[in-house]
């Protein structure tokens, strides 16, 4: 059984759509970046902390995940308020940015960490469009202050990489690692790829 160490409704939706059975069991962790921490290290560290924070049975695989948006070498987490959302959307409008998600799967003493990156191009947005989107409420619980599957979809001109990664969970990458835990019971038996 897969245990999702996240309260994110989007991650749950992605797993359900992929036909992966799971249960949710999550506890909050400190998401403060370490000084000078690269975004790839940051999201993997938080994913691991989330997975390790969950008590699990020997036959359970715990999945932790964390997503950040990077533009101008700045990591954009969840906005604090509408003004912060407006600031982030203004930074993204008319430009390319990266969405990076770290994952960690744990079964017993075995863990695996990985990450995925997707490049996203936003169309230019007017001040009125930015204000309207920030005021919609949609940006408030999302890294980078937007939802690719929601109202912001009309501004996404192109992506390179996994669409589901932008939603918060690179499901094909997760499944590649999960099936190793699911079908092989010890690390010596784990194949390098399936």
The residues assigned a catalytic role are 66
Q: If we measure between CA atoms, which residue out of 126, 129, 171, 119 comes closest to residue 151?
A: 129
Q: State whether residue 173 is helix, strand or coil.
A: helix
The CA distance from 194 to 13, in Å, is: 25
One-letter-per-residue 3-state SS of 27-87:
CCCCCCCCCCCCHHHHHHHHHHHHHHCCCCCCCCEEEEEEEEEEECCEEECCCCCHHHHHH
Q: State whether residue 11 is helix, strand or coil.
A: helix
Q: If we measure between CA atoms, which residue out of 65, 64, 61 comes closest to residue 22?
A: 61
Using CA atoms of 156, 158, 160, 162 in order, give the dihedral in degrees to the nearest 10: 40
The CA distance from 132 to 85, in Å, is: 11
């Amino acid at each position: 059984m897969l245990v999702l160490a996240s309260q994110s409704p989007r991650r749950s939706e992605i797993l359900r759509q992929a036909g992966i059975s799971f249960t949710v069991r999550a506890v909050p962790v400190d998401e403060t970046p370490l000084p000078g921490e690269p975004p790839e290290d940051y999201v993997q560290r938080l994913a691991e902390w989330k997975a390790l924070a969950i008590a699990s049975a020997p036959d359970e695989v715990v999945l932790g995940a964390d997503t950040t948006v990077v533009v101008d070498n700045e990591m954009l987490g969840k906005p604090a308020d509408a003004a912060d959302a407006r600031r982030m959307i203004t930074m993204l409008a008319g430009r390319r940015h990266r969405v990076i998600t770290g994952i960690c799967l744990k079964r017993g003493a075995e863990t695996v960490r990985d990450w995925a990156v997707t490049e996203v191009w936003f169309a230019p947005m007017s001040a009125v469009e930015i204000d309207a989107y920030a005021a919609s409420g949609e940006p408030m619980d999302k890294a980078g202050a937007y939802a690719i599957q929601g109202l912001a979809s009309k501004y996404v001109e192109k992506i390179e990489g996994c669409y589901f990664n932008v939603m918060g969970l690179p499901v094909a990458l997760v499944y590649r690692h999960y099936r190793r835990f699911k079908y092989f019971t010890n690390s010596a038996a784990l194949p390098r790829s399936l």
